[in-house]
Structure formats: C-alpha cells, structure tokens
C-alpha cells in the first residue's frame, strides 16, 4: 500500500501554494493534516501528480474571534479548535469529539475537513448550521464563499482547482441560544450514518426567534433543514411542534444507502435525530435578555 509516484512541493507561503495549484491545476492536491488524503494516496484511490504541502505556512495556523465570528486558519488543528470551543462554542466542541479520534484530530485541520466536503463528516454541516463561510485565495486574489454555496456533491465543492481555502468562519451564536448535536455512527469516531446539529433561540415572549438545523450523512452534501427552521421561527414551541418540524425537514432529504445503512434508515433516523437535537437546543435555550 504505497502511493503512486508524485512530486512534492513544500509551499513557504499561501501565495506559493496558490501558484503551485495554478501551475498544476487538477493534477495537484493540497496537503494539510493529511487524514483523508494520505489514506487515499496509499490506496491509490487518489493519484495526484503533485502534492502541495502547506504545513510550512505557519501564518495559516491561527484561531481568533472577531466581528462575532470564529476565524480558523487553514493549518489550525481540530484538536486545538476543540480545546478552544469547549467553553465558547460547545456545539462545535460536541461535533469535534465525533471527528475520528484524538490522534486524528491532533493532525487533522478544520479547514481541511470543510474543503474535503465528505457529506458524512461533521464540520461541513457545522459550517452550515453556524452560518459559516470560507475564504478562498486564488491567483486573482481572495473571495468569500458562504457555506450554502460551497458544497456541490460528495467530495466536491465550488472551489476552483487553483484556490486554497485559507480560513473558515463560523458565526458565534448569541449567548441565549441553545444547541443540540447527535449522530449515529457504527463506532465512535466513524463517519456518520446520520447526523444533525441544531441551534435555537427565543424571543422575550418565549417564542422561537430563530432556528438552525443541519444534517450530515443523509445526502451528497450537508443539508440545512430549512423546512424546520421556517416552521419553528416565530412560533411557541412544544414537543409536538418540534417533532413535526423535524419530520418536515427530514422528509426533504434524499439519502442513499450503503453497506452500513439503507436509505430508508437514514431518512427515518434523520427525523429522529432532528427531533432530538431541536429538543436539546430548546432545553438549553435561555430567555432573551
């Protein structure tokens, strides 16, 4: 299990990495944490002719809070973000605990996971749930891509072949918002068969002022549960209303089956998990100040 031959470029800066991408186009692959890429190389499922390693670009190893958002640089490891998120963004911390195992999170990057766009992984769904966006740098400069416009298909994004994601941004929920996270995987740390994340916040009268719901593992891309979000917003909450909203959202999904779970299982359990995460979020809501 050795990779097919490839050339290796150690990029000294983001611009060098972008230049290498521009030169090699589809033939090049970026290496950050390597937790998805390296196994695919060794299995010869991925056969890039050039690996562009951005690990030397220390300027991309950052995490900061600014303008109500969390900014994560392309080299910041998942484990470091998990440690930070424990208090500040417990929804993200809860999701990260399901990303592989500690050894994997010590190497894997948040941005890498988002850009890899595995539909069964947690972080792309979190980007949707937290109204996130990514900053893509290409030969002509930077652009910002909202999460909703990023994910196209399994392992496929709207990024151009010569673009490097330098940063992912997650909106910090308002303090009174409650959150919920759940996933079913065959084992702890496996990719999800079904997963869901939710945020919910209330107005002064105890009605839902806003809701976010995102699914993963139940389609070719992570998916916002828009049907639930609109159904709940502005309404007085009840267990029945949450269940109906969850079912409405799950009904819009189009999952496929594989050896680990059938399409029907994924669809049915998406409704179950959506109900649970919305219920958890409701329980965690604090009254608006």
Partner 1 sequence: MGAKLFGASVKRREDPRLLRGEGRFVDDIKLPGMLHAAFVRSPHAHALLRGIRAEAAAARPGVARVFTFAELARWMKPLPLFGAIPPGLAARVDVTMRQVAQLAMARDRVRHVGEIVAMVVADSRALAEDAAELVEVDYEPLPAVVDMIAGGAPGAPLIHPEWGDNVALRFKTGFGDAAAALSAADVRVQERFYVQRYVGMPMETRGVVAQWDPRDGSLTTWNGTQVVHFVQQGLVTALGLPANKIRVIAPDVGGGFGTKATGYPEDLLIPAAAIACRRPVKWTEDRREHMMAAAHARHQVHDIEIGATREGKMLVVRDRICVDLGAYNSWGIVLPYNTVAHLLGPHRVPALDVECRAVVTNKTPNAPYRGAGRPETVYAMDRIVDCLARELRMDPAELRRRNYLAEADMPYEIDIPYRDGNRLVYDSGDFRANLDAALEATGYDRLRAEQAAARSERGILRGIGISGYVEGTAIGPYEGATVRMDASGHAVVATGACSQGQGHETSFAQVAADALGIPLDWVTVVGGDTAAIPFGVGTFASRSAVNAGSSILDAAVKVREKLTAAAAALLEAAPADIEIEDGQAFVRGAPASSVSLERVVRSALPTFAKPGAVTADFEATVYHHQPTVTYTSAVHIAHVEVDPGTGAVRLLRYVVAHDCGRLINPMIVEGQIHGGVAQGVGGGLLEEMVYDEQGQLLTGTFMDYLVPTAMELPPIETVHLEYPSPRNPLGIKGIGEGGAISPPAAIANAVEDALSPFGVRVTRAPLGPDAVRALLVAAEEKKARDAGAGGGRA
Indicate whether 210 belongs to the interface with partner 1 (CB under 8 A): no
Asked if 269 is part of the footprint of partner 1 (rule: CB under 8 A), the reply reads yes
Interface with partner 1, residue 216, by CB under 8 A: no
90, 174, 268, 288: residue in contact with partner 1 (rule CB under 8 A): 268
| Alpha-carbon dihedral sign for residues 280, 281, 282, 285 | positive
**Applying CB under 8 A, does 259 fall inside the site for partner 1?**
yes
Whole-angstrom distance, CA of residue 162 vs CA of residue 147: 19
Residue 9-48 contact track with partner 1, rule CB under 8 A, x = bound: ------------------------------x---x-----
- From the CB of residue 186, how many other CB atoms can be counted at a distance below 10 Å? 11
Question: Residue 51: what are its φ and ψ, rounded to 5°?
Answer: -105, 125
CA angle, corner 275, sides to 272 and 279, nearest 5?
140
Among 184, 214, 245, 253, binds partner 1 (CB under 8 A): 184
* Near partner 1 in 137-176, by CB under 8 A: none
Q: Where are the alpha helices (DSSP H) in 202-238?
A: 226-232
The Cα angle at residue 118 between residues 175 and 160, in degrees rounded to 5? 95
**Of positions 187, 204, 205, 240, contacts partner 1 by CB under 8 A:** 187
Residue 152's H or E segment, with its range, is: strand 151-153
Q: Does 228 bind partner 1 (CB under 8 A)?
A: no
Task: Give contact residues for partner 1 (rule: CB under 8 A).
Answer: 1-5, 39, 43, 184, 186-191, 193-194, 259-262, 265, 268-269, 272-273, 276
């Amino acid at each position: 299990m050795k990779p097919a031959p490839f050339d290796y470029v150690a990029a000294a800066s983001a611009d060098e990495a972008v230049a290498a991408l521009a030169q090699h186009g589809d033939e090049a692959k970026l290496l950050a944490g390597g937790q998805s890429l390296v196994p695919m190389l060794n299995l010869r499922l991925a056969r890039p002719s050039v690996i562009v390693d951005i690990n030397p670009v220390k300027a991309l190893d950052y995490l900061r809070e600014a303008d109500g958002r969390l900014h994560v640089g392309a080299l910041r490891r998942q484990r470091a973000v998990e440690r930070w998120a424990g208090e500040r963004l417990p929804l993200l911390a809860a999701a990260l605990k399901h990303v592989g195992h500690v050894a994997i999170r010590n190497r894997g990057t948040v941005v890498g996971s988002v850009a890899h766009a595995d539909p069964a992984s947690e972080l792309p769904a979190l980007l949707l749930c937290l109204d996130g966006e990514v900053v893509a740098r290409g030969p002509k400069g930077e652009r910002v891509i909202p999460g909703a416009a990023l994910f196209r298909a399994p392992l496929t994004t709207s990024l151009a072949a010569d673009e490097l994601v330098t940063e992912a941004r997650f909106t910090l929920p308002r303090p009174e918002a409650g959150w919920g996270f759940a996933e079913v995987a065959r084992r702890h740390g496996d990719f999800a068969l079904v997963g869901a994340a939710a945020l919910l916040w209330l107005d002064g009268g105890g009605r839902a002022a806003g809701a976010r719901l995102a699914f993963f593992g139940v389609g070719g891309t992570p998916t916002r549960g828009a049907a639930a979000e609109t159904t709940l917003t502005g309404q007085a909450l009840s267990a029945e209303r949450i269940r109906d909203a969850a079912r409405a959202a799950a009904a819009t999904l189009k999952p496929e089956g594989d050896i680990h779970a059938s399409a029907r299982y994924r669809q049915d359990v998406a409704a179950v998990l959506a109900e649970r995460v919305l219920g958890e979020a409701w329980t965690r809501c604090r009254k608006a100040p």
